[in-house]
């Protein structure tokens, strides 16, 4: 986690250095800036410019000083709880540590608890689920690497939890992937039993159900898109091919973790552009590595003559899935082949 601290007095600088040292012990990457005349190492940036730069590059900002200074500094740059960094304020005496922004998804609450423990401060947590000691869907999603598909629905879930209205949760038939006990307020959804609803409140997994209109999906990034294509295929064609396969199989695009292919495609511009646009890792394998993958694959004599292996997209997807399973076999069209595999995944209730 990248953390930027700023302070405004000599006393604040002493505390900032102490906080930075403690965080570095926990392997955080920390920078400290001073905005104060009379201190030689003070930054020349305005507070507004400093804050803008840190919002774009850091995971967390810590202001050592008054809450009002921090609030006015961050106000122009606040966008959404899914994008904003964590923001904390610590008074220069080190008495109180207050998470101001991104308490759950950005990790401000967790960071505040850590910092408070390290400097013997009092953490001031104000988020409703925390102070009422209730399960929080956004904290659960972050800790399990799940994408929240709809923040408005997530807010509704939190409201139901606070009202102690039972929340039905579905694990898409993979309850074996769940570790720990369901927290108070969550009930396992059973489509056969009459639980008063014909869809769950929360569904955890890679698939979407077109018949469900109110469900909040929590999506693990566990799908690999195996891709084969002709030379110089445009990124738009690859994008369209992958999107069509996902749509036809009711799989969330957010579930894609990486793309894979054969090593002769390592520098294929269209695939690289597609991966860059979607922030996907791109893994390639030699024909020998792909031949060694075990499974029932859609063979092609032409592909074997060109690449040295009978199938690229299925084999590469399965190879990159880390002993997972093939969930969509080769789909071909317009010079692009796509197959999907999913790696094993688990979620945990602490």
Full pLDDT tens readout for the chain, 350 residues = 899 999 999 999 999 999 999 999 999 999 999 998 778 788 989 999 999 999 999 999 999 999 999 999 999 999 887 889 999 999 999 999 999 988 777 888 889 999 999 999 999 988 877 777 888 898 899 889 999 999 899 989 989 998 989 999 999 967 778 888 999 889 998 888 877 788 999 999 999 999 999 999 999 999 999 999 999 999 999 999 999 999 999 999 999 999 999 999 999 999 999 999 999 999 999 999 999 898 889 888 888 787 888 899 999 999 999 889 999 999 998 889 999 999 999 999 87
Write the CA distances from 346 to 168, 176, 201, integer angstroms: 19, 8, 20
For residue 301, the model assigns a pLDDT of: 81
The answer on 228 and 200 residing in a single domain is no
Domain membership flag for residue 348: no
Q: What is the distance between the alpha carbons of residues 240 and 91, in angstroms, rounded to a whole number?
A: 52
Same domain membership, residue 100 and residue 146: no
Q: What is the largest CA-CA distance in the chain?
A: 75
Q: What is the CATH number of the domain that holds 53?
A: 3.40.50.11220
Q: Domain with 201 in it: what CATH number?
A: 3.40.1390
Give the structural domain span for 194. Answer: 137-220
Asked if residue 164 is part of any domain, the answer here is yes
- The span from the CA of 268 to the CA of 306, in Å, is 15
Same domain, yes or no: 228 and 191: no
pLDDT, residue 232, reads: 92
The DSSP letter of residue 181 is P
Q: What sections of 120-257 are H helices per DSSP?
A: 128-131, 137-143, 151-162, 235-248
CA-closest candidate to residue 310, choices 298, 321, 320, 318: 298
Which residue among 151, 185, 220 closes a domain?
A: 220
For the entire predicted model, the pTM comes to: 0.79
Tell whether 111 and 153 lie within a shared domain: no
Bridge pairing between strands 216-220 and 122-123: unpaired
Asked whether the beta carbons of 230 and 337 are under 8 A apart, the reply is no
9 C-beta neighbours (distance < 10 Å), count: 17
3 state DSSP class of 114: helix
Q: How far, in Å, CA of 290 to CA of 311, rounded? A: 8
Residue 80 lies in a domain: yes
Domain co-membership, 214 together with 268: no
Token digits for 35?
């905005």
The packing angle between helices 10-25 and 108-119, to 10°, is: 110
Whole-number pLDDT of residue 173:
67
Radius of gyration of the chain (CA): 24
Cβ-in-10-Å burial (0-12, 13-18, 19+) of 298 comes to: middle
CA angle 78, 204, 163 (to 5 degrees): 65
Residues 197 and 161 in one domain: yes
């Amino acid at each position: 986690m990248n953390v930027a601290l700023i302070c405004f007095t000599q006393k604040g600088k002493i505390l900032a250095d102490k906080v930075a040292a403690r965080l570095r012990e926990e392997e955080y990457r920390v920078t400290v800036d001073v905005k104060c005349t009379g201190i030689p190492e003070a930054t020349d940036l305005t507070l507004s410019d400093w804050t803008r730069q840190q919002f774009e590059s850091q995971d967390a900002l810590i202001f050592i000083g008054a809450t009002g200074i921090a609030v006015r500094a961050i106000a122009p740059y606040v966008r959404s709880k899914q994008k904003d960094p964590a923001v904390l304020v610590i008074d220069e005496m080190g008495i109180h540590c207050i998470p101001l922004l991104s308490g759950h998804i950005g990790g401000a609450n967790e960071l505040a608890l850590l910092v408070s423990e390290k400097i013997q401060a009092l953490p001031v947590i104000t988020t409703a689920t925390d102070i009422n000691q209730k399960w929080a869907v956004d904290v659960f999603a972050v800790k399990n690497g799940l994408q929240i598909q709809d923040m408005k629905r997530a807010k509704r879930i939190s409201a139901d939890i606070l009202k102690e209205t039972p929340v039905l949760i579905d694990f898409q038939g993979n309850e074996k992937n769940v570790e720990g006990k369901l927290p108070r307020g969550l009930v396992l959804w059973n489509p056969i039993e009459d639980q008063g609803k014909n869809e769950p409140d929360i569904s955890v997994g890679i698939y979407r159900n077109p018949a469900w209109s109110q469900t909040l999906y929590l999506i693990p990034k566990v799908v690999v898109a195996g891709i084969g294509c002709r030379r110089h295929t445009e990124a738009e064609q690859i994008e369209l091919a992958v999107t069509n396969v996902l749509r036809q199989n009711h799989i969330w695009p957010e579930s894609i973790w990486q793309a894979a292919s054969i090593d002769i495609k390592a520098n294929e511009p269209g695939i690289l552009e597609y991966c860059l646009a979607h922030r996907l890792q791109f893994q390639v394998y030699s024909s020998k590595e792909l031949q060694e993958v075990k499974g029932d694959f859609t063979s092609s004599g032409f592909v074997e003559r060109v690449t040295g292996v009978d199938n690229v997209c299925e084999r590469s997807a399965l190879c990159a899935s880390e002993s997972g399973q093939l969930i969509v076999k080769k789909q071909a069209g317009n010079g692009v082949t796509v197959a999907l595999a999913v790696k094993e995944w688990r979620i945990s209730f602490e």
